[in-house]
Amino acid sequence: MPEPDPDEREPGRSSPQPSDREVERRWAELTAQLGDLGTQENAKDDHEPVAGADETGAAPSGPRDYEVAEDGEETGFVPPDPPPLRGSDPLPTLAWLAALGGPVATVIFLIVWPSAPSWVYLAAIMGSVVGWLVLLWRMPRSRDDSDDGAVV
């Protein structure tokens, strides 16, 4: 009994991928259907103009097929100058610098200069404590009851 060709599929059974022979046969069919493509110039000459069509044709439209108006001084809007970034009181800035700079300086001294005198570590820690105390001292003492909270 002759064995069935492995490339031939049974009608009720489907294979997940076509065989190499089937792929080559299909590729040959597709390339034969294409024929000689020629050049773009030949393709333009082969087409006959449609009756009633404009010979010049319409300009291609793109993402911007309009003229953009030049932005001159016609708008008239001049934004106001922004307020200054820093307040006039440098004490809160120095307090934050001392509060956060003390622990950072202590860690840096421990890594870079482990044999530093004890007064260096004490000064860094005391600077941090003083910075936190100034920040706590400058906090508002009473809650502003006139505020209704977030208004949506």
Tell me the C-alpha distance between 128 and 99, whole Å. Answer: 4
Tell me the H-state helices in 5-117.
20-34, 40-46, 91-112
Q: What is the DSSP code (8-state) at residue 65?
A: -
Residue with tokens 């421990």: 110
pLDDT of res. 128? 98
What are the phi and psi torsion angles at 134 (to 5°)? -65, -40
Percent of the chain with pLDDT over 90: 41
pLDDT tens-digit series, residues 121-142:
999 999 999 999 999 999 988 8
Give the mean model confidence (pLDDT) for residues 80-101.
88
pLDDT tens-digit series, residues 12-51:
566 678 899 999 999 999 888 887 766 555 555 556 666 6
Burial of 44 (0-12, 13-18, 19+ CB in 10 A): exposed
pLDDT band at 2 (very low <50, low <70, confident <90, very high): low
Q: Which among 102, 108, 107, 104 is positioned nearest to 135, based on CA atoms?
A: 102
Q: Which among 117, 121, 118, 93 is positioned nearest to 108, based on CA atoms?
A: 121
Rounded to the nearest integer, the mean pLDDT of the chain is 79
pLDDT band at 88 (very low <50, low <70, confident <90, very high): confident
Structure tokens at 85: 């970034």
